[in-house]
Structure 1
């Protein structure tokens, strides 16, 4: 005979799932990816001249300086979205609505095959002064992101963010943020490898 859980027992199970925080493996993986993408970006742009960081392959394309500013802006805006997502109540029952798994999400955001026009609030506007100032802002914001991941006890899998391509959980939001850095680091590599790039 099939057993049916009573409402109180079912509620306790839900509370138990919600109470479980971020796992050690999730924390370790997210921090590793955040550090890796940060190091790759900052090492790539280290020592570049003003001419190099402001070079554009085409007039309507971003320079290295604009790519980095976009990354720094996105770091803050995406973290704001993640912080907003955890203000509500956790809902493990919503997990069935997640659009894709972690690997597919990272593949989507890091791929350079499909170009996407960013929203206005993510566009670079030369708001951080010179290039060194932008690097400093990015490093500060990435440090803050990593501090959040190190310190949170929440199960970020039970909070959610709506993107144009579907629903993701807030842990995936961290991966999206880090993958976004990788995406535009690869864009910077394309600029450096272009024939017109100043040596």
Structure 2
């Protein structure tokens, strides 16, 4: 009798939405790898830069490395808030068709520097975190929280959604958007560093 009842109970739970599918191991590992990769590229790019280098601008309209860092710290929290908002509504597999963009295309589109995008006022750097070191730490702290979340969550991220400039994204794609956005602005920082007038590292006098 127990063998008959158990499948019926499980079927009922699925029908009423108590059990969710979560995400696959492949999706989890891919998202963790993306977030980790772009965090490492970020830290490697800004490491060891002095004050003059951090604040150098190729032209008055450009952002400095320090301003790019602050923009990324702000964006990390804002995009994380987008995911939190998506999770406040119930998972809805019936809306999967509204997601038109693939993960790969999303990453390529967001990370590309070919098309310039005007930054919204809320995302513009203003010195809100204090020093450059504090700004870097604000980014790393938030990114660490996001990596830990995707490593452990059972949320059904593929069936939670948010609207964005690239269309409807699911929960996994919000995190990929976050990573691609980091990639985009690290590339911007690398362009600044590669500029012919970028200040050279001064050598330390030997005793």
TM-score (norm 2): 0.87
Matched, 1:46 2:52: no
Matched, 1:178 2:161: no
Structure with bigger gyration radius: 2
CA RMSD of aligned residues (A): 1.7
Q: Which string of whole-angstrom CA distances, capped at 9 and with x for unpartnered residues, describes residues 134-167 of structure 1?
A: 1111111111111211221011000001012211
- 2:59 maps to 58
- 1:145 maps to 146
SS of aligned partner of 2:169: strand
Distance across 2 between alignment mates of 1:87 and 1:150: 20
Distance across 1 between alignment mates of 2:139 and 2:89: 28
> Residues 21-36 of structure 1: matches in 2 within 5 Å?
21-36=22-37
CA contact (8 A) 1:56 1:62 kept: yes
TM-aligned CA deviation for residue 19 of structure 1? 1.1
- 2:95 maps to 94
TM-aligned CA deviation for residue 14 of structure 1? 8.5
Can you give the 5+ residue segments of structure 1 that lack an aligned partner in the other structure? 1-8
CA contact (8 A) 1:31 1:146 kept: yes
SS of aligned partner of 2:115: coil
Can you give the 5+ residue segments of structure 2 that lack an aligned partner in the other structure? 1-10, 201-207
CA contact (8 A) 2:65 2:189 kept: yes
